Amino acid sequence: MENNSLRINQRIELEIEGVGSAGEGIGRLSGRAVFVPRTLPKERVLAKVVHTGSKKIVAEPLKILEPSPDRRDPICPVFGRCGGCQLMHADYPAQLELKKAILQDALSSIAGIRLESIPVAGAQEPLYYRNRGQYPVARARGKVVTGFFAPRTHDVVAVSRCRIHDPQVDRAVACVRFWAGRKKIPVYDERRHRGFLRHVVVRAGGEVLVVLVGRQDRKLPLGDLLRRLRQEVPNLAGLVLNINPARTNVILGGRNRVLWGRDFVEEMFMSLKLKLSVGSFFQVNTAQARVLFDKVRGFLGRPQGPVVDAYCGVGVLATLLFKEGHQTVGIDSAAPAIADAKTIASTNRVSTCDFQKGRTEKLLPRLISRGLKPRAVILDPPRKGCALEVIEAVAESRAEKIAYISCHPGTLSRDLKRFIELGYQLDAVEGVDMFPQTSHLEVMAGLVRG
């Protein structure tokens, strides 16, 4: 069959041969790749064509004709409609192998790095692990619903119980959902930019922080909500209103008002007492964050000079390293994160740990040009990876070691290639499954100066 004869809604049979970067199965039709989500290698499937383009053909699976022995029944009733998980149809050991294959393919095709074996640390608890949830709010058939956006849309798929979130998150969200419906709280309509309640954000651990994201500041009937929250979420530390008046996809606005309790949670992590506020970044899988940080500490070795922790978030890793004798400098562009980092350092009696606010691509080159000579640099950039200015500044500093943390194999591979071209050698690549049931994998790549 010729590709140009394919029609939308046409049915095709395919043998799935590989896995794509988003966890979808890949088959071939007349030599061209066909991407079929929710399928596994070595499966034969009946699928319906939903997109034909010059670079990509996408088909939706209709029937698994010959299932893989790695296939399992997803435990979530909205799997496939909600955009949160991509690999729940595979048993957990197979998920780890698929993620490893995605990483190996990116390293090979983008950076020319071919690794036969990459260790991946699986999670002991592959369900109910996320310590933070961000739920959009909508109305459907006259009822208030909370859930997640369907893939490539802003249509909310109602979810009452998410299998990858800490159960405390869903209990808190359910309380808000019931209250909003009963009190007729206006739900935000993003198309018309009207209404009030946009998202519910919950951070859960030893304590729980609940954040209502509203379009404007307003007085709210909180009595029933607080009673229900304190009954259903005994570890409730605070209820906060975050005001976000902008017409934007960004979830949180820049202003908070405490409605009850406080605007942060406290918890113990490794040897540190943490304070985490509304907008601060911290790894969503606490147990696997310990594994990841131990790998970075092991790669850096004993203290032998300054360490820069770029994109440091709330400074947990920098503070841990400082307590072990490293001279650390943390950099982050988010003012709340730097404020929390300084508080965490002070609380843990390492107040001389240096944290600076600024964009890494601006601040790091400036610090290095003024004489900072780090022995090692930790890079944990957003999914888009490091700006070229960051890579060039690190290379110019002649840092002996680079620990690069990434959850995006594509941008990781691109940046590793750049570092290798600037004189570094790849010493280690290790995966830590921070996000079970999804196609994402956290990776620690260690580079040494050649």
Catalytic residues: 407
Give the N- to C-terminal CA distance of the chain in Å, as an integer: 51
Interacting residues of 191 by C-beta distance below 8 A, sequence separation 6+: none
Structure tokens at 315: 């400074």
Interacting residues of 289 by C-beta distance below 8 A, sequence separation 6+: 269, 282, 283, 316, 434
Cβ–Cβ < 8 Å for 123, 436: yes
Torsion of CA 92, 94, 96, 99, to 10 degrees: -130
Q: How many CB atoms lie within 10 A of CB 206?
A: 13
Q: What is the largest CA-CA distance in the chain?
A: 69
Using the structure block, give the residue that is written with the tokens 């998410």.
Answer: 162
Cβ–Cβ < 8 Å for 305, 314: no
Closest to 18 (Cα-Cα) out of 32, 30, 35, 1: 35
Q: Which residues of 304-314 are buried (b: 16+ CB within 10 A; e: fewer)?
A: eebbbbbbbbb
